[in-house]
Amino acid sequence: MTASSTATLSFSDGSPSIEFPVLKGTVGPDVVDIKTLYGKTGKFTYDPGFMSTAACRSAITYIDGDKGELLYRGYPIEQIATNCDYLETCYLLLNGEMPNAAQKDAFVSNVSHHTMVHEQMQFFLRGFRRDAHPMAILTGMVGALSAFYHDTLDINNAEHRHIAAIRLIAKMPTLVSMAYKYSAGQPMIYPKNDLSYTANFMRMMFATPCEEYQVNDVLVRALDRIFILHADHEQNASTSTVRLCGSSGTNPYAAIAAGVACLWGPAHGGANEAALSMLLDIQKNGGVEKIGEFITAVKDKNSNVRLMGFGHRVYKNYDPRAKLMRETCYEVLGELGLQNDPLFKLAMELEKIALSDEYFVSRKLYPNVDFYSGIVQRALGIPTSLFTAIFALARTVGWIAQLNEMLADPDQKIGRPRQLFTGATARDVMPLHQR
């Protein structure tokens, strides 16, 4: 990170102009370093939603929203999704380089041997209603993990952070499948260490004590790719939440639980659940013939209807993950003999119509990762309410990598934004009888 030039801020009220360094990264937009602005001017910047704000420096994930490009540690998502599996991707995000065979074997073995959760964790489940949303359960259970590892909670201890990373990556599939089994009224299925990470998760989801799960490699590969596509995504809302939470020095489990809570929102990770519900509603109300009516409602500001799975704060082109997800749709539906799945056809017709409509084109609204992921997951037998929990499972490694990077940054301080105050200025409290 080098100062490539300077930016001058001048004021029309005669205040003296001030120069700030302009910093250049390896690729992407330069930044104006305004750290000293308040000290020099007594003024803050104002940027709700952080539309023009870089909150940190990072070397993990790069997105070019105009080109529709996504790189994990410099590798294009298309190449990773084709040539790697999810645990290799985890190793890459955490360590910055692809593992060699020995490193991969050691990492996989380490993760495999941490997949069980403390037996007491099951009793937390009993406290929830059977119809509790899986994200409510997951938010609670991830935070509760911190109650079981008192000896390794020091977020500033690299070894503690490492074992917490392995435990969280390893246990998320177990926790997500426990939430699912609890809602289905079925007993939880314990992990099996001789299965791959994703096959193990699918077995914990779909096996029962009465019947083993028959691993289907095409379906396992498809879900593993879904995990890869969701693993990290720069400074999105939930990652920024994890960074801010972790900046207070809290333990890794609590910081990741905050990320789970943020991801739940329908504008963020909850969009895949909302996108599938949207498609099911259109299908129920007439299917393809009703798309025009739906698009009209979306364009009507007063309707509060959004085309879920479309649009993105950064991508002003096709989300590269959506393209890969659509390919995965073809693979999974083909393997399951569902090529004519009406929902998939409806989604492709909706995409075609939206991409030719001036409203979406002028606002650069393209399908994002959530538009197709619900169709794939539904075909895999995953209930809609579990989609965001699957997203959280996959994103855990990204949250951890970003948290660790923040903690290792010498410039890191506790995050404490300021405000533009618009409330009442100082005034006296009147005695009750005079109010």
**Rounded to the nearest whole angstrom, what is the least distance from the CB of residue 84 to ligand SDX in the complex?**
18
Q: Determine whether 312 is an active site residue.
A: yes
**Strand ordering across the sheet containing 61-64:** 61-64, 69-72, 75-76
Instruction: Tell me how many degrees the CA angle 361-341-263 measures, rounded to the nearest 5.
Output: 60
CB contact burial 389-407 (16+ within 10 A = b; e otherwise): bbbbbbbbbbbbbbbbbbb
Binding of residue 365 to ligand SDX (CB under 6 A): yes
Q: Is residue 311 part of the contact set for ligand SDX (CB under 6 A)?
A: yes
Secondary structure element (H or E) that encloses residue 21, with its range: strand 18-24
- Stretch near ligand SDX under the rule CB under 6 A, chosen from 134-142, 181-189, 242-250, 309-317: 309-317
Residue 228 sits at φ, ψ, to 5 deg, of -60, -45
Catalytic residue among 233, 370, 409, 433: 370
Least Cβ distance, residue 277 to ligand SDX (angstroms): 12
Q: Would you say 301 or 418 has its CB closer to ligand SDX? A: 301
Which range in 81-89, 150-158, 334-342, 360-368 contacts ligand SDX by CB under 6 A?
A: 360-368
Beta carbon of residue 222, minimum distance to ligand SDX (angstroms, whole number):
18
Q: DSSP secondary structure string, 335-404?
A: HTT-TT-HHHHHHHHHHHHHHTSHHHHHTT--B-HHHHHHHHHHHTT--GGGHHHHHHHHHHHHHHHHHH
Using rule CB under 6 A, residue 310 touches ligand SDX: yes
Which residues, other chains included, contact 188 with Cβ-Cβ below 8 Å and sequence gap of 6+?
A: 122, 177, 178, 181, 182, 204
Shortest Cβ 262–ligand SDX spacing (Å): 10
Tell me how many residues contact ligand SDX (CB under 6 A): 21
Cα–Cα dist 28/20, whole Å: 19
162 included as an active-site residue: no
Instruction: Tell me the H-state helices in 67-209.
Output: 77-83, 86-95, 101-112, 121-126, 134-145, 158-184, 197-206
CA 60/CA 43 separation, integer angstroms: 32
CA distance 159 to 125: 30
Task: Write down the catalytic residue from 85, 114, 312, 319.
Answer: 312
**Residue 329 interacts with ligand SDX (CB under 6 A): yes or no:** no
- Three-state secondary-structure class, residue 9: strand
What's the token pair of residue 121?
A: 């964790």
Q: Does residue number 298 form part of the binding site for ligand SDX (CB under 6 A)?
A: yes
| Of the candidate residues 61, 183, 198, 236, the single one contacting ligand SDX (CB under 6 A) | 236
Nearest residue to 196 via CA among 111, 117, 94, 118:
111
Interface stretch with ligand SDX, choices 64-72, 185-193, 248-256, 311-319 (CB under 6 A): 311-319
Closest CB to ligand SDX among residues 117, 255: 255
**Contact with ligand SDX (CB under 6 A) among 73, 181, 243, 312:** 312
Based on the shown chain and the rule CB under 6 A, indicate whether residue 267 belongs to the binding site for ligand SDX. yes
**What phi and psi, each to the nearest 5 degrees, are found at residue 69?**
-110, 140
Q: Is 323 in the site for ligand SDX (CB under 6 A)?
A: no
Spatial separation of the C-alpha atoms in residues 240 and 231, rounded to whole Å: 15
Q: Is 171 in the site for ligand SDX (CB under 6 A)?
A: no
Number of alpha carbons in the 13 Å side-chain half-sphere of residue 79: 9
- Among 174, 240, 368, 402, the residue binding ligand SDX under the rule CB under 6 A is 368
Binding of ligand SDX at residue 363 (CB under 6 A)? Answer: yes
Residue 21 or 311 having the CB closest to ligand SDX: 311
Q: Which stretch binds ligand SDX (CB under 6 A): 8-16, 22-30, 149-157, 363-371?
A: 363-371
When the beta carbons of 243 and 312 are compared against ligand SDX, the nearer one is 312
Rounded Cα gap, residues 240 and 54, in angstroms: 11
Candidates 99, 309, 320, 374; binder of ligand SDX (CB under 6 A) is 309
Under 8 Å between Cβ of 299 and 359: yes
Q: For ligand SDX, give the closer residue by CB, 314 or 355.
A: 314
The two three-digit tokens of residue 8, written as one number: 């001058």
By beta-carbon proximity to ligand SDX, the closer residue of 167 and 233 is 233
Instruction: Identify which of residues 188 and 307 has a Cβ nearer to ligand SDX in the complex.
Output: 307
Using CB under 6 A as the binding rule, whether residue 252 contacts ligand SDX is answered as no
Residue among 162 and 306 whose Cβ is closer to ligand SDX = 306
* Residue numbers at the binding site for ligand SDX (CB under 6 A): 233, 236, 267-269, 271, 298, 306-314, 363, 365, 368-370
Which residues are tagged catalytic?
312, 370
